[in-house]
Structure formats: C-alpha cells, structure tokens
Structure 1
Amino acid sequence: MNSKLWKLSHKLYAHGYRRVGRTLELIYNVLNANSISTEAEIGCNTVFFYHGLGCVVHRDCIIGDNCKIFGNVTIGCKWSNGVNDGKPPHIGDNVLIGAGTVILGDIYVGENSIIGANTTVITDVPEKLYCDWKSGKN
C-alpha cells in the first residue's frame, strides 16, 4: 500500500491498539475520500493510484502483492434483499484493476490478471486473464 499513514494504522490495529488504528484510518479516509479498512490485508508494493480516491475495500478483503488499483474501485461482499451473502473477494498477486471496477462476493481473482475499467466482476477470474465490461462475462 502506498500510504505511510494507512500502513501505520494497520500496524497499530494488528498489534492491539485498535482505537488509535481506527482513528488514523478515519483520518486517512477523510483526507483521501475513500474507505479502505485498516483490517484489510493488503500486500507489499500494492498501489492505490491517486491515494485510492473513491475506493472502497471491505475489512475482510485480501489483496496480494504488487497490485495496481485505480480510482473508484469497490471490493466487497454481495448483498441481496438487505442480507450479506458471504465473504469479500480475494485478489491474487500482480493484478491490475481499472478505474470504476466493482468486484463483489466470495470470489478469487487470479494472479497476473487485468480487469478493465468499469467492469463488474461476480465470478472467479482465472490467472493471466484480461477481463473487461464488453465481454459480458469473465
């Protein structure tokens, strides 16, 4: 992750200083107009371009190493009829996620995949696959 403030809040939260970690998370979210949870597991060298402007990442989400994530991306759980349908996605290593992408549900995005801008992903994405909104499916 490219923010020292987020890294610090994540470290504090993980080591039992939950209140301080959450407070720093809130400051980070307000400064950068996003909601990237301190509890999320985000790998080394993963970059949220433009400080994650408009991004939302679920607290139980796992994002691998060396991922590149552009603005206005949502990574979270599926909801139907006001009920949470399970876990958030697991993103593999070296994944590029284009601006405006929505990734929902208990799915896996394979390593070295590319997800084009404004794509909605609700099924597993195999490794080394290019996925975009035109295809209608992965």
Structure 2
Amino acid sequence: MCFSGCSVPFSCTLGSGICFRHGLSGIFISGKAVVGDNCFILHQVTIGSNYGSTKRPFAAPVVGNGVFIGAGAKIIGGVAIGARARIGANALVVEDVPEGAVCFAPKSLIKVDAEGERT
C-alpha cells in the first residue's frame, strides 16, 4: 500500500492491532520486515532492510509484539526488537534490542563559550 509520503508494501508482515498514531506520514516499512501484534508506531519511522550493504547479507527487521516506536526512529537491517521494547524518538537501531528494553537517541549537546554564550 502506498499513500502520500509513505511506503508500506503488501509483502511486509504486519500483526493485528497495530496503531499508526499519527497516520502514515513518512512511514517506510521494508517489504521483508515483520512487525508483531499491538505495536504503536509514530510518524517518520523507517523499518528498513540493509539493501545495498556490502558487508552483511540482505535482511530486514523483526519487531516483536507490543513494541512502541517513537517519531523519527530508524530500525535498519536484520535486527530483532524484543516484545514490549520502547524505541525512542529519532533513535537509530542497528543492533538487537532485548525484550522490554528502552532504546533512545543521545541527547543534544549544547556548547557554551567562556563567557557563557551559546556557540
């Protein structure tokens, strides 16, 4: 299925009860990806294969049941996301995430010069 600004092909496997809370805006799911039941997915999320990688065999993510995926998160390659894991906004996930774990992007760095002014 393809709507404006998204790609969710019929070849991907989607479980029941998935909630795209902010609609399908910017959602990309690989045709080989598997997403479990009752997942909560926000906008601008990519669940993509590692297509084009020269170092690893072609693979796509497997997302367990009840996973929360925050806005802008990117889950790439043959990674497994355990059941009930929480993926924070703008996280880049390229390794397996255990069941019930929380994965989040690093906090922004604010630089200040010697006088206390932001640089």
Instruction: Verify the 8 A CA contact 1:77 1:87 in the aligned structure 2.
Output: yes
1:48 partnered with 2:20: yes
Aligned AA (1:129): A
8 Å contact 2:32–2:49 — kept in the other structure?
no
Partner of 1:123: 95
Identity of aligned residues (%): 32
TM-score scaled by length of structure 2:
0.82
CA distance in 2, matches of 1:50, 1:132: 20
**2:46 aligned residue:** 74
Shift of 1:50: 2.2
Q: Check whether the contact 1:85–1:105 (CA below 8 A) recurs between aligned residues.
A: no
What are structure 2's unaligned runs of at least 5 residues?
108-119
The structural deviation recorded for 1:95 is 0.1
RMSD of the TM alignment (CA)?
1.7
Residue type of the alignment partner of 1:101: A
Alignment of 1:92-111 (within 5 A): 92-111=64-83
Work out the number of aligned pairs and report it.
106
Q: 1:112 is matched by which residue type in structure 2? A: R
Q: Counterpart in 2 of 1:134?
A: 106
Correspondence for 1:91 among 49, 63, 86: 63
Kindly indicate which of the two structures has a greater share of residues assigned to helix: 1
- Letter of the 1:47 partner, please give it: C
Q: Which amino acid aligns with 2:48?
A: G
Q: Which has the higher contact order (CA 8 A, sep 6+)?
A: 2
1:104-138 C-alpha deviation (Å, 9 max, x unpaired): 01110000000000000000000000110128xxx
After superposition, the C-alpha distances for 1:34-53 in whole angstroms (9 at most, x for unaligned) are 10111111000011122221
Contact 1:92 1:109 (8 Å CA) reproduced: yes
In structure 1, runs of 5+ residues without a counterpart are 1-24
Q: Scaled by the length of structure 1, what TM-score is found?
A: 0.71
Letter in 1 for 2:82: G
